Amino acid sequence: MLIISIVLTGVLAFAQDGSIKGKVMDKETGEAIPFANIIAESGGKQFGGATSDFDGYYTIKPLAPGKYDVKVTFVGYQSTLLPDIVVSPDSSIIVDIKLAESTDLLNCVEVIGYKVPMINRDKGGGCIRRYSNADANYIQHNTESYDVINENIFKEVLNSPLSTFSVDVDKASYSNIRRFINQNQKPPKDAVRIEEMVNYFDYDYPQPKNDDPFSINFESGECPWNKSHDLVLIGIQGKEIKTEKIPPSNLVFLIDVSGSMSASNKLPLLKQAFKILVGNLRPQDRVAMVVYAGAAGLVLESTPGSNKTRIIGALENLNAGGSTAGGAGIKLAYRIAKENYIPKGNNRVILATDGDFNVGASSNG
């Protein structure tokens, strides 16, 4: 019996974490639902969470083997609970989720001047008012611009043997290009960032072993446009840190509430994104909120993550209007972050804005 016990203990010690992945969709139309909040719980305690991407896909990992209740929420839809989802060692379970629309009506949404409506649903009760570009008091501005991308040249390894990489991952270009295509527009060439297009997808690279900070993965193949060349893809997978091991966070939300943020895809969308973040806060985390328009102000003192009602209430009360005094907002946000500084913690100011500062100090440096 002693030998059997030791063997079983050894097997359990080498069991690998698993994951839950899938797609969140509208129950009636089958359309993908982006920005849905998915949480894995067991015994009333949260063990992991994720947010669906623009195509509705999500992944919750790493999760220790066992049973979990999966809870899904998104504004305008009924909350859904999927009980007893079994996660097996070293494997992924596919859980696709279909959300039904909520019977609680949302407030009226005004979409102004969009050639392609962002919301294409009108099922009674709620209202969507749409104004054309010809309306008397509407002036359309386009301040969207991109830094010039200089194409990389070939370098001989003999002369340039050193290559660097970044541990952070940028992948916004994929969604941005999709936005242009969905609006029947050609993306500006400098908006096309190949690295971010590649990074958008999940390659399921293995976790690093032992004390290695990352794993290195190679793929190679013949170059489609030049048969005498080969293409090599080098993938870096950083070590995933379990939620309970993450240091406590001292966060300051610095939110632009100037007049240009009133569009439905700006401040209202930011509110939903920050709500998702708030939903994943732990009691040891803290959040303060600074806003700026013509001036800067503190709308929420540093609040523990357990008081989600107060934090979300402060978000809901935000309204857009005025000019953009970003410099004053940054100074105030950093002062608040310093006052609530957590030694060896995750101290961050999260800036959310749509453009340039037009009041107060600013620079292009």
Tens digits of residue pLDDT in 106-148: 443 344 443 443 333 333 333 333 333 333 343 444 556 788 8
Tokens 């500062």: give the residue: 357
Residue carrying structure tokens 């696709």: 96
Are the CB atoms for 151 and 193 separated by under 8 Å?
no
Tens-digit pLDDT profile for residues 187-221: 888 889 988 998 888 888 899 998 888 899 989 99
Q: What number is the average pLDDT over the span 60-64?
A: 88
**Of 272, 277, 243, nearest in space to 46 by CA:** 243
Mean of the per-residue pLDDT values of the chain:
79
pTM for the model stands at 0.50
Read off the pLDDT of residues 9-25 as tens digits, 9 standing for 90 and up: 333 333 478 899 999 99
pLDDT at residue 110 in the model: 40
Q: What is the pLDDT of residue 121?
A: 38
Report pLDDT digits (tens) over 265-306: 788 888 988 998 998 899 999 999 999 887 788 999 999 999
CB 70 within 8 A of CB 55: no
The more confident residue out of 26 and 134 is 26
- Taking 70 as the threshold, does the pLDDT of residue 165 lie above it? yes
Cα Rg, the chain, nearest whole Å? 24
User: Which pLDDT belongs to residue 150?
Assistant: 79
Q: Can you read off the two tokens belonging to residue 209? A: 């072993």
Q: How large is the average pLDDT for residues 75-80?
A: 82
* Residue-wise pLDDT tens digits, 300-335: 999 999 999 999 999 988 888 776 667 888 999 999
Check if the beta carbon of residue 25 is closer than 8 Å to that of residue 52.
no
Question: How far is 61 from 67, CA to CA, in rounded Å?
Answer: 14
Contact 256, 270 (CB under 8 A): no
Q: Which domains does the chain have, with CATH numbers?
A: 15-99 (2.60.40.1120), 105-141 (no CATH), 172-238 (no CATH), 246-352 (3.40.50.410)
Burial 325-357 (b: 16+ CB within 10 A, else e): bbbbbbebbeebbeebeeeebebebeebbbbeb
